[in-house]
Structure 1
């Protein structure tokens, strides 16, 4: 049975992604910062008949928490097949680049970018033990420089900190995929689209079931998928 770790998986897209992957036969570790919320998520899944799930405490902004989670998994599994860096925050709005608060920008980057990088670095040794290791960085179309440069985005000045953190995350995807190009790693950014979650006060235009499906499709594609790309239904321009 293949194993998956999803950060920020106690709710929203992370929770739904865990549910869909577990239903496909993967053993899924739901990562969350808070024990109560994590165990509640596990309880909900098990109540629906899904037993191949477990909770693991991980705060991606705390290197000691990430290292402890890695050590815990190393004692339980021989290899990690899929890492999904899903944990993310929107930050306080508005987020104008000309006048936004620096502390807010740093806070958003701490979770959305630095958290994903240090989590990935810690788990790469365990991923290398997999025959088909997959890393998915959950991104957003708001991280696409091409789309920002070619469209009149209504979110300018509102989600600038969030958008730039996802652009940085996309850069991490490209650079890491290039570094691992001669290995069996598949490393990609995936956007779930404008999905109704706590991140946007449930204003998104699609369900978590729809958003998670894009992530699940890439996570389960195995050797059939390319690496170092940006996906939703199809490829998104960088």
Structure 2
């Protein structure tokens, strides 16, 4: 549904990927509440339309739905063509769409009981450990899908929409990251240093690192400590977010007129976390929106956690 929003030159335009539920839906609501015209995107058209109607029911008429599958080049191209024709620019791109890179098990805990005495005293890492034990398992296919979506898919969206962002007088890209994407989780010290060396780092090298991880994943060697990949059951997710962080810094250096930042929204109660997070979607989204709406001339190439700039390592 394209709606009937007029194209006012003074209106800021935002695209939110994966905007039909959870953090993405809340980001749409909060941006729209700040006067931004929001293009809510989702891969499922029925759910996207339902999300749009929900926001319209809250009195937010400045929201449009457009279909987007971030791993499908023609879908991305259609969105880019729509934005170019309708607005001629893009001011804010929030890359929220992503997957956890794990296979859900049928017999899992009910995260809606997080207020119970049994789970109430657990911190983030204790909850994640419990989830990995009871709810998920990492498979090669799920890991590859994670890299294809979180890293390559996000890069495809950025590449297609970059000319529209550069047409804005204050273009911003906000990539949803995670504290699980910090470089300290890599066992390979040389690789940690390389991914943190902003002067020498290149997009091609980040691509090579991702490709090397996928090869090891396919060969069943990703868990080999000698390889130096992140340990544990979320290695693909960690690599995907660390790679996205690195690419974001490369992009920020390449396009100094843009604000390109990463933000960890916190451990949020969503479908991805089986509603087992510590924060509400409203709280997580507010951290993302705060970065999206930073004053002009603010930081770029930065990582935000707990509403503060934090190190990538």
> Partner of 2:250 in structure 1?
175
**Superposed counterparts of 1:185-196, under 5 Å:** 185-196=258-269
Matched with 1:118 is: 156
Q: Which residue of 2 aligns with 1:152?
A: none
Gaps of 5+ in 1: 150-154
Q: 2:275 aligns with which of 181, 192, 202?
A: 202
Q: Does 1:108 align with 2:118?
A: no
Q: 1:78 and 2:153 equivalent?
A: no
Are 2:45 and 1:7 aligned?
A: no
Secondary structure at 1:199's aligned position in 2? coil
CA RMSD of aligned residues (A): 1.8
Correspondence for 2:171: 133
Question: How big is the shift at 1:224?
Answer: 4.4
For 1:172 and 1:7, the matched residues in 2 are separated by 18
Count matched residues: 228
TM-score, normalised with respect to structure 1: 0.91
**Secondary structure, aligned partner of 1:84:** strand
Q: Secondary structure at the match of 1:146?
A: helix
CA contact (8 A) 1:132 1:222 kept: no
3-state SS in 2 of match to 1:38: helix
Residue 89 of structure 1 is matched in structure 2 by 99
State the 1:66 CA deviation: 0.4
Could you report, residue by residue, the CA deviation over 1:65-124 in whole angstroms, capped at 9, with x for unpaired residues?
A: 1011111111111210001111000122569xxx95332221101110001101000000
Aligned to 1:216: 289
| Unpaired stretches in structure 2, ≥5 consecutive residues | 1-10, 104-131, 188-229
Structure 1 position 158, deviation (Å) = 2.6
Aligned equivalent of 1:50? 60
Displacement of 1:147: 6.0
> TM-score when scaled to structure 2?
0.70
> Residue 141 of structure 1 contacts residue 147 of structure 1 at CA under 8 Å; is this kept in 2?
no
